Amino acid sequence: MQNKKVVLIAEDEATLRGAIKDELTREGISVIEAKNGEEGLRIALSEHPDLIMIDILMPKMDGLAMLKKLREDPWGKNVDFIILTNVSDFDEISRAMKVSEVKDHESFEYLIKSDVKIEDVVEKVKKKLGI
Amino acid sequence: MKIRTKINLSFILAFILISSIVGAVVGIYTTGIIKNNVYLYLSSGSRAKAEHIRTFILEQESTSLILAAGSAYHDFLMTAENSIEYPLQKEKIVKHFKKTLEAEPNIYELLILDVKGKIVAASNESEEGIDKSTDTFFTEAKNGAFFKDIYFSTVINKVTYAISAPIKDDDGKFLGVSVLRYLPENLFSIIKNENGLGKTEENFLINKDKIFISPSLFLGDSVILNKKIETKNANDCFNEGEIEYVKKNGYVGLKEFFNDNQINEALDYRNVDVIATHAYIPETGWCLITKADRAELMLFRKTLLIIFIIIFVIASLIYLLLSYIISKRITKPLDVLQIGVNKIQMGDLDYKVNTGTKDEIGVLSDSFNAMVMAVKQSRADIDIKVGEQTKELANKTEDLESQKLAILNVLEDVEKEKRQVEILANDLIKFKLAVENTSEQVFITDVEGMIVYSNKSIENITGFKPSEALGKKAGTLWKLPMTLDYYKNMWDIIKNQKKNYIGEIQNKRKDGEIYTARLNISPVLNDKNEVIYFVAIERDISKEKEVDKAKTEFVSLASHQLRTPLSAINWYTEMLLAGDAGPINEEQKKYLNEVATGNKRMVALVDALLNVSRLDLGTFMIEPEPVNTKEMAKSVIAELQPMIKEKKIEIKEVYGENLPIFNADQKLLRMVLQNLLSNTFKYTPALGTVSLQMRVIQKGEIFGEKVLSGASFAISVGDNGIGIPERQQDKIFSKLFRADNARESETEGTGLGLYVIKSIIDKSGGDVWFKSEENKGTTFYIILPDSGMKKREGTKKLN
C-alpha cells in the first residue's frame, strides 16, 4: 500500500480549513493544518507535505511571505502548492507567481474560495497529487 | 537750325554780302560816273554858254567895228554940221541906224560920237547932243574896239553895256566913235537855264568885280550891279592861270590842263551847298557861273538808291525763292531721312529710308538703314536678354516680395509678441508668485538633473531648503530609493523620448522618511529639439496614498471578511448535498439548494459591491493591452452557453472586417461584455434573438443614432426582450437599480451591472447608451476610442 499523501493547509479561517480537511480526508488524503504562515512554514519544513495549500491573507505571516521563505529551503524549492485566496487580487497573485519562481504557469495554481466548489478543490488537489 | 534754313540763310547772307559789295561798288562807281557826268555837263554847259557869250560879244564887237568902219559913219562924220549935206547925211545915218537896228535887234541903240565926244547921232534922237566925252566908251575907243562893261546908264536909265569902235578916216585919223548899246537881256537869254540839270540850275554872269550882271534865279533882277559874290567858284574863275589859259586857248583842253573840271562843291551866295563851275569870258572879263544845288544834283543818288533797293528786293526775293528751291532739293533727302528716323524711333525697325539720291545724304541713309538693321538685331538680342533678366528679376522680386511679406509678417509677429511679452511679463510676476507659493513642489533642472530652481514647497515636502537644493542633482538629494530600472525608464522617457513622465515615485526626505509623490516631469526643448531643461512638479501623495491604501485595504478586508463565511456556507452546503454527512431526503435537498442559491447570490452581490466600491473609490486601474476582441466576445458567449441553450436564444454575431486588435484592459472589457451579454440573455424570453456587433466606426458616421466625433471601436448588443420602461430609462445606469419589469421577470440580478459598465466605459474614455422600448427590445451601444481604453493609474483591479 502506497503512502498516504500529505497535504498541508495553511488557512486562518477554521471553518474553511475544516471543510477542506473533511473532504480531503474522505478521499483518503492525510491533512495537516496550520492557522498562520509562521506555523505553516514550521510544519511544512518539518513534515515535508506533498502539497501545501496556502491562504494568502493570514496573520503573523501571510501566505506569500511563507512561500518565499519556503522557496529558500532546498526542499521547499520544489514543493507543490496551491494558493488559496478570497480576493481576486491580481497584484497579490502575480507577486505570488514571482515569489514562487514557478517556471511554467501550469504548476501555479490558485483557487478563489468564494467562487470555487468544494469538489473542485478536491479535484485540483487530487490532480496535483497525481491521484 | 535746320540745314535748309542754314542754306537759306547762307545764301541770303552771301547775297546780301555780295549785293552790298556790288551795290556799294556800283553805287560808288555810278555815283562817281554820274557825278562826273554832272560835272561834265555843268562845266561843258558852262563853257558852251560862255563860248556863246564870247561869240556873241565878239560878233557884237565886229558889228561895231564894221559899223564904225562903214562909209555911212565915215561920211557922216566927215560932213560938217553946218554943211548942206549934213541933213542928208544925217538922214542916211538915221536910215542906217534903222536898218542896222532892224538887222540887229540885239542892239539897243546906236550912237555916233564926234571927235569931241558929243553924240552927234543916236538912234534915240533924244540923246543927241549929249556930251559923252568922259565916257569910257569914248575915251577908250580911240584906238580900237572897246567893250564897256555892264553899267547902269543914267542916260537911258537902264542897265546896259556898250561896245564902241573908233571911226577913222582913210588916213586913219580919228573922227569919232561908234557906240552900240546893248541890253544885257540878250545875254540873259543865252545863259538861261535849260533845266538840263534840274530846277536849281542857274547860270549867271559876274563882272570882274564879282558883281552880278545877270539876274539870279533865286534873287531875281535886283542883284544886277548890286550883289557881290565871294564864292570859291567865283574866285577860282578869276584865277590868273585860268584867265591866261582861256585867253590863249579858249576852253579846249581846259580840263586836261587844269586836271579837273573846275567843279566846285561849296556854298553859293545863298549859303546853299551847290556844285558850281565857272567859265571866264576874256573878251568881257566876265565870269559865267553855272551852278546847281548839290541836293538836286545828288538827287539822282537817292533815285539810284531807291532803284537799287527795289532791284535788291526783287533780286533777293528771286534769290530767296531760288535758294529755297535749291535748299529744299538738297535737303529733301534729309527730310526723307528725318521721317525715316522718326518712324524708326517710333519703333518701326523694319522701315527703310529711301532718299532716292546717290549723294552724301543717300549714302548716309543707306548707312543708317544698315545701322537700323543692326540695332534691330541687337534689340532683338537685348529683348531676349532683357526678357530673361526680367524673368530673373521678377523671380527675385517675387522672392523679395515674399521675403518682404515674410519679414513683415515676422515683424507683425514680433510686434504681437512684444505686446504679448509685455502682457506676459506682468503675468509672469503673478505666475512666479503662484509657482513660488504653490503647495506642490516645483523645480527646474538642467539636462543632467541639476537643480537650477526650486520653489518654497521643496522644503515642506523634502525638508531641503531651495538654497540647499540649488546646484545639486535631484537624485543626490532624494537618495533614489526606487529601482534602477525605474530611473532608467524615467530618464529614457524624458531625455531620449523627450516626453512627459507622469508617475509615482518614492523619495527620501531630508530626515530619511520615504514619501510617495506624484511626479510630473516635462522636458523643455529648444528650437533644435534639444532638451535644455526639465520642469518637475511633485505632489506629496503619501497621505493620499495612505488613504487609498486604507480604502483599498478596507475593501480587501471587507471583501475577505464577507467572503469567508460565504465560502464556508457554500462548501458545507455542498458537502451536505453531496451526502458527505449522510444521505439526505428530497426535501432536505430542496432546502439545501435554496441555501446554496441564496449563498451564490450573496457571493455575486459581494463581488459586485466590491467592484462598485472600487469604482466609487476610484481606485481601480485600467491597463490596456492588445486584446482580440472577437475572441473575447466569443469566449464570453461560450461561458453563457448554458443560459443560451436553455432559453433557446438565437444569437447573431457580426464582427466587422479588419476588426483590429484593440487596446483594452482585458479584465474590464471582459467584465463589460459579460455584464452586457448576461443582461441581454437574462431579459430576453425564450426563443428570442440577440445580436452582437463589433466593429470600427469612422468619425462622422452614425452609430446608435449618434454621430461619432471620432473613430471608435463600437459594440452593440441588441435583443427583442422585455425592454426598459420609458419612465425608468433615466435611472437604468444607477447603482442597484432594477426596472420593475426586470424585477418581475428575473429574481436574480444585482442592479449593479450597468453601473459597473458605465463606470468602466466612462473612465476608459468611451460612451455607453441604449435604445429601448418595453416589450419590444433593447439595444445597448458602447463606443471606445479606437486608440484604445485610456490607461488609468489605480491601486486595484476590479474583480
CATH of residue B661:
3.30.565.10
Q: Cα B572 vs. chain centroid, distance in angstroms?
A: 115
pLDDT band at B229 (very low <50, low <70, confident <90, very high): confident
- Residue B194: count other Cβ atoms within 10 Å of its Cβ: 10
Contact call for B571 and A20, based on CB within 8 A: yes
Q: Are residues B488 and B561 in the same domain?
A: no
Element (H, E) at B424: helix B360-437
Length of chain A: 131
Q: Are residues B759 and B640 in the same domain?
A: yes
Residue in A22, A86, A87 nearest the CB of B575: A22
> Degrees (nearest 5) of the Cα angle B741, B743, B748?
140
Of the candidates B540, B555, B589, which is a domain's last residue?
A: B540
Average pLDDT over residues B64-80: 82
Contact call for A89 and B606, based on CB within 8 A: no
Q: What is the CATH number of domain A6-129?
A: 3.40.50.2300
Q: Are residues B717 and B771 in the same domain?
A: yes
Q: Are residues B707 and B741 in the same domain?
A: yes
Q: Is the pLDDT of residue B730 over 80?
A: yes
Query: Rg of chain B's alpha carbons, rounded to an integer?
Result: 86
In chain B, % of residues over pLDDT 90:
11
Q: Is the pLDDT of residue B257 over 70?
A: no
pLDDT band at B534 (very low <50, low <70, confident <90, very high): very high
Whether the CB-CB separation of B481 and B497 falls below 8 Å is answered with no
Residue in A19, A89, A91 nearest the CB of B572: A19
Q: Is B321 within a domain?
A: no
Q: Is the pLDDT of residue B35 over 80?
A: no
| pLDDT confidence of residue B559 | 74
Using the Cβ of B609 and the Cβ atoms of chain A, whether some distance falls under 8 Å is answered with no
Task: Phi first, then psi: give them for residue B424, nearest 5 degrees.
Answer: -65, -35
Q: Which residue of A has its CA nearest to B566?
A: A114
Using the Cβ of B579 and the Cβ atoms of chain A, whether some distance falls under 8 Å is answered with no
Contact call for B567 and A20, based on CB within 8 A: no
> Concatenated DSSP letters for B342-381?
HHHHHT-TT--------SHHHHHHHHHHHHHHHHHHHHHH
| pLDDT confidence of residue B153 | 84
A-B C-beta contacts closer than 8 Å: 64
Closest approach of A109 to chain B, Cα-based (Å):
18
Task: Phi first, then psi: give them for residue B497, nearest 5 degrees.
Answer: -85, -15
Mutate to test the interface with B, among A114, A119, A121 (most CBs of B within 10 A): A114
Q: Residue B757 sits in which domain range?
A: 621-785
Decide which of B57 and B722 is more confident. Answer: B722
| pLDDT confidence of residue B717 | 94
| pLDDT confidence of residue B340 | 81
Domain count, chain B: 4
Residue in A19, A57, A115 nearest the CB of B575: A19
Q: Are residues B533 and B668 in the same domain?
A: no
Q: 3-class SS at B283?
A: coil
Of the candidates B419, B435, B451, which is a domain's last residue?
A: B435
Over chain B, what is the mean pLDDT? Answer: 84
Produce one character per residue of B563-584: b if its CB has 16 or more CB atoms within 10 Å, e if not: bbebbbbbbbbbbbbeeeeeee
Q: What angle do helix axes B586-617 and B542-578 make, rounded to 10 degrees? A: 170
Alpha-carbon distance values, B81 to B78, B672, B694 (Å):
9, 217, 210
| pLDDT confidence of residue A91 | 64
Q: Are residues B586 and B650 in the same domain?
A: no
Q: Are residues B566 and B418 in the same domain?
A: no
Q: Are residues B671 and B565 in the same domain?
A: no
Over chain A, what is the mean pLDDT? Answer: 84
| pLDDT confidence of residue B705 | 87
Residue in A57, A89, A114 nearest the CB of B567: A114
Residue in B556, B566, B578 nearest the CB of A87: B556
Report the distance separating Cα A23 and Cα B580, nearest Å. 8
Q: Is the pLDDT of residue B794 over 70?
A: no
Of the candidates B377, B409, B435, which is a domain's last residue?
A: B435
Average pLDDT over residues B211-227: 85
| pLDDT confidence of residue B676 | 92
Q: Are residues B581 and B711 in the same domain?
A: no
CB contacts of A11 in chain B (<8 Å) are none
| pLDDT confidence of residue A39 | 93
Using the Cβ of B575 and the Cβ atoms of chain A, whether some distance falls under 8 Å is answered with yes
pLDDT band at B797 (very low <50, low <70, confident <90, very high): low
CB contacts of B571 in chain A (<8 Å) are 16, 19-20, 23, 117-118, 121
Q: Are residues B626 and B742 in the same domain?
A: yes
Using the Cβ of B559 and the Cβ atoms of chain A, whether some distance falls under 8 Å is answered with yes
Predicted confidence (pLDDT) per residue in B75-132, tens digit: 888 887 788 888 888 888 888 888 888 888 888 888 888 888 888 888 888 888 888 8
Task: Find which of A90-99, B377-386, B419-428, B631-640 is predicted with most confidence, using mean pLDDT.
Answer: B631-640
Q: Are residues B736 and B714 in the same domain?
A: yes
Average pLDDT over residues B578-603: 90
Contact call for A57 and B603, based on CB within 8 A: no
Q: Is B474 within a domain?
A: yes
Closest approach of B619 to chain A, Cα-based (Å):
13
Q: Are residues B476 and B556 in the same domain?
A: no
Q: Which residue of B has its CA nearest to A87?
A: B560
Amino acid found at B589: K
CATH of residue B497:
3.30.450.20
Average pLDDT over residues A14-42: 92
Q: Is the pLDDT of residue A41 over 90?
A: yes
| pLDDT confidence of residue A45 | 93
| pLDDT confidence of residue B196 | 66
Q: Which residue of B has its CA nearest to A57?
A: B560
